[in-house]
Amino acid sequence: MSKYWSDVVHRLTPYVPGEQPKLTNLVKLNTNENPYGPSLKVIEALKAEAADSLRLYPDPNSDRLKSVIARIFDLQSNQVFVGNGSDEVLAHVFQGLLKHDKPLLFPDITYSFYPVYCGLYGIQYETIALDKQFNIDIHHYARPNGGIIFPNPNAPTGIPLALAKIEQLLRQNTHSVVVIDEAYVDFGTESAVNLINTYPNLLVTHSLSKARSLAGLRVGYALGNKDLIEALMRVKDSFNSYPIDRFAEAGAVAAMQDSGYFEETCAKVISTRDTLVNELHALSFEVLPSGANFIFAKHKKIDGEELVVKLREHSIIVRHFKKPARISPYIRITIGTDNQSSSLIQAINVILKSV
Ligand SMILES: Cc1ncc(COP(=O)(O)O)c(C=O)c1O
């Protein structure tokens, strides 16, 4: 606290990111990164970018990256917005498209950055309870609102919502923007991108941090009707004209173009996830259905918080959320390599014998 702070800063409750440990010998399954490095084509592109041209500003509109993304999704470049990680894209979405007189709606259990943006931008919101099985029930969103946002699959549960339900939501909610945050969509969830040309109020956000193995480069993008994209451009150009630096654009272009590597690594993560879920079931864990590169699991003999502490003693880090109380028994495990999964299962076997 300081008398020099603005009122807004006094009132903020900032987001707390998962730990990035300084120790290198840990099995790191806590922040949903990809266990496989980026495509070698990305590394080549980054090396080529380390040149005299770094003295020049990058393209403020990231036209090359936008056109590569547009081609992949069969859209026009003016239907694509790119930013410094999907968190930055989401920040602009909250400010530019979701701040209205009526409240923004999102699930009570979801990505914990959403209420933080609301605090930063003074957006009023209402949370809508997930059902008993932690599913989003779109009927509960049929109420006055200034916008709707949720991740698909949801976080931190990992549960996907069927595309038919999203289309039903778009049919029932035509007067405000519906944002589907597809940060984890490539691990077995149906994307809503193909609905963009039918529903002018649909905005879909994607991240290169997960399926494209580029959390360290910070690139994300939004896809939607050109009027929605123009709103985001107006916010960006009132904030930072160059969110995508020369390295980020070169690396992101190479990553988006290497579809073979992307498909191969996603398939490996999905296969490791399926094996891990079976092994956890065999140890009497309850695991929520996942369409993501993480799973949400609980065991009746040990609380989530205690399990996280015990796993850390085995040099394995996973994530725990204390609030709301309903999810406190669970731990969120990022899917790693097969070897990392084996270490996890070995550690859990030892821990369960001691409780
Ligand atoms: C649901 C969800 N959306 C968006 C993001 C932001 O991803 P990034 O800013 O790395 O693109 C995350 C990151 O963990 C997330 O969990």
Render pLDDT for 300-333 as a digit per residue (tens, 0 to 9): 999 999 999 999 999 999 999 999 999 999 999 9
pLDDT at residue 293, as a whole number: 98
User: Cα of 208 to ligand 1 centre, how many Å?
Assistant: 9
145 Cβ inside 6 Å of ligand 1 = no
Query: Any bridge partners for residue 120, and if so which?
Result: none
Answer yes or no: is pLDDT of 23 > 80: no
32 Cβ inside 6 Å of ligand 1 = yes
pLDDT at residue 255, as a whole number: 98
Specify the ligand 1 atom closest to the Cα of 210. Answer: 10
335 Cβ inside 6 Å of ligand 1 = no
Burial class (CB in 10 A: 0-12, 13-18, 19+), 313: exposed
Query: Any bridge partners for residue 221, and if so which?
Result: 82, 206
Count CB neighbours of 115 within 10 A: 17
Residue 233 to residue 200: CA distance in whole angstroms: 17
Residue 229 to residue 69: CA distance in whole angstroms: 14
Answer yes or no: is pLDDT of 22 > 90: no
Alpha helices (H) along the chain: 7-11, 40-49, 63-73, 85-97, 113-121, 163-172, 226-236, 246-257, 259-282, 304-313, 338-354
Rg over alpha carbons for the chain, rounded to the nearest Å, is 21
- Tell me the pLDDT band of 133, cut-offs 50, 70 and 90: very high
% of the chain with per-residue pLDDT over 70: 100
pLDDT at residue 19, as a whole number: 86
User: Cα of 207 to ligand 1 centre, how many Å?
Assistant: 7
pLDDT at residue 18, as a whole number: 87
Specify the ligand 1 atom closest to the Cα of 151. Answer: 1
φ, ψ for residue 343 (rounded to 5)?
-60, -40
The SS3 of residue 317 is strand
pLDDT at residue 307, as a whole number: 98
Could you tell me the domains of the chain? 7-37+260-354 (3.90.1150.10), 40-258 (3.40.640.10)
User: Cα of 150 to ligand 1 centre, how many Å?
Assistant: 12
User: CB-side exposure of 50: number of CA atoms within 13 Å?
Assistant: 5
Mutational pocket test of ligand 1: of 28, 31, 86, 93, the residue with most ligand atoms within 8 Å of the beta carbon: 86
Ligand 1: residue whose CA is nearest its atom 3: 183
Specify the ligand 1 atom closest to the Cα of 110. Answer: 1
209 Cβ inside 6 Å of ligand 1 = yes
Answer yes or no: is pLDDT of 286 > 90: yes
Answer yes or no: is pLDDT of 112 > 90: yes
pTM of the model: 0.97
Residue 297 to residue 335: CA distance in whole angstroms: 12
Judge contact between 69 and 256, C-beta under 8 A: yes
Mutational pocket test of ligand 1: of 81, 207, 213, the residue with most ligand atoms within 8 Å of the beta carbon: 207
Mutational pocket test of ligand 1: of 19, 111, 214, 335, the residue with most ligand atoms within 8 Å of the beta carbon: 111
Render pLDDT for 54-97 as a digit per residue (tens, 0 to 9): 999 999 999 999 999 999 999 999 999 999 999 999 999 999 99
Torsion, Cα of 160, 164, 168, 174 (10° steps)? 80
Render pLDDT for 157-213 as a digit per residue (tens, 0 to 9): 999 999 999 999 999 999 999 999 999 999 999 999 999 999 999 999 999 999 999
The whole-number average pLDDT for the span 111-131 is 97
83 Cβ inside 6 Å of ligand 1 = no
Judge contact between 192 and 202, C-beta under 8 A: yes
Q: Which two tokens stand for residue 319?
A: 């994530």
- Tell me the pLDDT band of 1, cut-offs 50, 70 and 90: confident
User: Cα of 88 to ligand 1 centre, how many Å?
Assistant: 9
The whole-number average pLDDT for the span 19-40 is 93
Mean pLDDT of the chain: 97
86 Cβ inside 6 Å of ligand 1 = yes
Strands 294-298 and 286-287, by their bridges, are antiparallel
151 Cβ inside 6 Å of ligand 1 = yes
User: Cα of 352 to ligand 1 centre, how many Å?
Assistant: 32
Q: Which amino acid is at 100?
A: H
- Tell me the pLDDT band of 249, cut-offs 50, 70 and 90: very high
